[in-house]
Structure 1
Amino acid sequence: MTISPIKVRRKPLQSRSRMTQDALIESFVRLLQEKSAVEMTIREITDIAGVGLGTFYEYFSQKEDLIALTIHQFIKYNARLLQQQAPLLINHGHLPLKSYVQQLLQSQLEQIKSQQVIWAKLFLLERQVSSPEAYQKHYALMVDTWHTTLSLYANANHSPLNLDFAALALNIHRISYSFISQSLLCEAQFSQWSQLQADIAIAIDAFIPHAVSSPSMPST
């Protein structure tokens, strides 16, 4: 069950259309809490959304297209969360780089934990419906997001840090994505979140030299 990049028949340019598409995504997510994507029908999705079958097919050619878009939206939301948290942490005060990364990681984990049953199923569905191009796009989005948050940190300091932030961003996502997805794929009701965060932090810390773990203070 593999599809090409998301096939949305009708782009939601107007607010009403966007609300309809969002309602279909929300209905799918609601059903996903109770059953697998294979078990649910398009009729069930449209009934909960309060729209007809014809409306569904105005936006999507098949259920897998809605699944692919849902995955895309969840990943975008997770990326947006990191982008929102970064300036708040920076404005809060001078944090060592390791602490900054760990607090961003904690925000990411808390968001996933709050909907972990959905995320567990989406990680599995991603492997079933996402094309290589879609997967690569999502991977690049998260790497770019981490790069942006690290660049914000570097720019907030008054002297540049001697670290390849592009490489660090790539390794942060490699580690966090692997640890989180594998944990939920193996156990949808995963509960060892504190230990998972600690394990991810240990792995990421190996890529942050101690010499640049603290921000450079401005000279007075």
Structure 2
Amino acid sequence: MKNPEIQVRRRPRQSRAKLTQEALQESFVRLLHERHAHEITIREITDVAGVGLGTFYEYFSKKEDLVALTIHQHVKTNAEQLKSYAQSLMELSTKLSFEDYLQQIIHFQLEQIQARQFLWAQTFLLERQVSNIESYRKSYEMMVQMWHSILEPYVDDEVQLNRISLNVQRVCYGFVSQTLLVEPEFGDWIMLEREILKLLMNILFFKNN
């Protein structure tokens, strides 16, 4: 079912309210390991979260809104982890080449995805089922901006930086999402990393020169 946008009835302004909303998201993810998303009921989500059914409707109008928010938060967390890792690389070495810098970040990103492979496979699948085009664009733009922030120390020209950021997101998202959609239990991550890096090096170090 497509939604016009993520509909959150109540924004969690207090820590307790935020924890409740997070508990509902975590409950959905836990149940997702047991069966398909369309089989999970709101009652089951609230039971696992330890809250009443009315509490769910304080925050969401329907299950799909919870699913969409869970996807968004999952992608956002990944973006924040990547930015933190990139910052740590910059702090450790100021002599790291752009190529080595990018390779290490891609490797870290794939490690994070592999560590939660089931959830990422489900995220890409559910993204196509519950996210409308505007929600999809917002998430995609968030990741492009993440790459912009990560690559900015190495690229002075803003136009080139925008283009490179978009291309890195295109390649990484395309390779990983299509791989896990077709083969959720994919196992050859070393090969996938090599293919991603090979294409990125060709795009960035030949076509952009």
In the aligned structure 2, how far is the partner of 1:136 from the partner of 1:123?
14
Report if the CA contact (8 A) 1:86-1:152 is conserved.
Answer: no
* Offset from partner CA, 1:114-138 (integer Å, 9 cap, x none): 1111111110110111011100000
Alignment of 1:1-220 (within 5 A): 1-93=1-93, 94-154=95-155, 160=156, 164-209=160-205
SS at match of 2:39: coil
Report if the CA contact (8 A) 1:46-1:56 is conserved.
Answer: yes
TM-score (norm 2): 0.94
Task: After TM superposition, give the deviation of residue 208 of structure 1 in Å.
Answer: 2.3
Stretch moving more, 67-76 or 95-104: 95-104
In the aligned structure 2, how far is the partner of 1:79 from the partner of 1:63?
25
Larger radius of gyration: 1
More helix as a share of residues: 2
Q: Which runs of 5+ in 2 are unaligned?
A: none
Task: After TM superposition, give the deviation of residue 163 of structure 1 in Å.
Answer: 8.3
Percent sequence identity over aligned pairs: 50
In the aligned structure 2, how far is the partner of 1:45 from the partner of 1:162?
45
Task: After TM superposition, give the deviation of residue 161 of structure 1 in Å.
Answer: 7.3
In the aligned structure 1, how far is the partner of 2:143 from the partner of 2:100?
19
* Offset from partner CA, 1:140-188 (integer Å, 9 cap, x none): 000010011111344xxxxx57981211110000000000001110111
Report if the CA contact (8 A) 1:82-1:104 is conserved.
Answer: yes
In the aligned structure 1, how far is the partner of 2:119 from the partner of 2:31?
10
Stretch moving more, 18-27 or 201-210: 201-210
In the aligned structure 2, how far is the partner of 1:40 from the partner of 1:208?
44
In the aligned structure 2, how far is the partner of 1:22 from the partner of 1:161?
40
In the aligned structure 2, how far is the partner of 1:152 from the partner of 1:14?
36
Q: Which runs of 5+ in 1 are unaligned?
A: 155-159, 214-220
In the aligned structure 2, how far is the partner of 1:162 from the partner of 1:178?
24
Q: Amino acid of the residue matched to residue 100 of structure 1?
A: Y
Question: Where has structure 1 moved over 2 Å in runs of 4 or more?
Answer: 160-163, 207-210
TM-score (norm 1): 0.90
Q: Amino acid of the residue matched to residue 198 of structure 2?
A: I
Please report the RMSD computed on the Cα atoms of aligned residues, expressed in angstroms. Answer: 1.7
* Offset from partner CA, 1:68-100 (integer Å, 9 cap, x none): 000000110111011101111112222121111
Report if the CA contact (8 A) 1:79-1:142 is conserved.
Answer: yes
Distance 1:95 1:148, change over 3 A: same
* Offset from partner CA, 1:13-49 (integer Å, 9 cap, x none): 1000000000000001111112110111111111110
In the aligned structure 2, how far is the partner of 1:153 from the partner of 1:71?
30
In the aligned structure 2, how far is the partner of 1:113 from the partner of 1:30?
18
Stretch moving more, 161-170 or 200-209: 161-170
In the aligned structure 2, how far is the partner of 1:162 from the partner of 1:144?
12
